[in-house]
Amino acid sequence: MIMTKNTRRSFAKLSSARGGTAEPPPKAPEANLGQRKSVAAKLGQAPAAKPRKRAATPEAGAASKAILPAAKRPAKPARRSARGSAAPTPPLRPWTVAEIREAFVRFRNANPEPKGELEHLNPYTLLVAVVLSAQATDAGVNKATRALFAVADTPARMLALGEEKVRDHIKTIGLYRNKARNIIALSEKLLADFNGEVPRSRAGIESLPGAGRKTANVVLNMAFGEHTMAVDTHVFRVGNRTGMAPGKTPLEVELGLERVIPDEFMLHAHHWLILHGRYTCLARSPRCAVCLINDLCRWPEKTI
């Protein structure tokens, strides 16, 4: 207890009068911090520290909090389309037979004899070029194969060249080590099982190392004139975006296109669609304004 000077004098007189120690006066209300500092300064003492609040124990904290039921998380809003609609995108209206025919008539009139862009000398070099084109551009493959095919245009010559030199020729192409290994292996298999000739069947081509369904379709179409549909990333995009043959996998798109395209267009159909996807129906910025079939296309985001 802090007593003022006058209080101490009164207390001392009372104590001496009674001949003993007197009871201290009742405790006065606690002064605020400013008053305590003033009194302490007069007495030459340090001001008493402000009492700290006792930290609440975990039990006390838990008891002080009301137990509330967990609030329900708000439902996630429906995903909006590019046009801002929360409703799911309806399926595209199928093309009619007349519309399919009209589209390919336009393609044929614009480019009567479309050609693949992979350079090759014969069915074997075409097969090698297609195997090399996986995850690579046609231009990049052509740059590497011009010198390669000049010295190795048959399975026997490719084996004589050897894997190491093949690798040196194609080292500018992605996955070139594995592709060089496949080229040597498929050349060996062609000599062992097919008398050095590229087989004219899908099963035969797909049995070769590094060759899959798309490779078989390209070789059968370009080398042997078969009515096959090779679905690469461009054809897959065109088939789905236009609504001509939507599908979740390349095989679904392939079968869908074969089902709707008239036979008279099938020889060049995959070239028309590849070129259309590569130069007009681009992945990020489709050139809808110059598209030959923009009035037939079902894509709801056409930029025209």
Residues annotated catalytic, as ranges: 214, 232
Going 81 to 83 to 87 to 91, the CA torsion angle's sign is negative
Q: Provide CB contacts within 8 A for 263, sequence distance 6+.
A: 227
Cα distances from 107 to residues 10, 104, 170, 265, 271, in angstroms, run 118, 5, 34, 10, 10
- Write the single-letter amino acid at 253: V
Measured between alpha carbons, how far is 145 from 122 in angstroms, rounded to an integer?
13
Number of H helices, E strands in the chain: 14, 0
Measured between alpha carbons, how far is 242 from 246 in angstroms, rounded to an integer?
8
Asked if residues 141 and 132 have their Cβ atoms less than 8 Å apart, the reply is yes
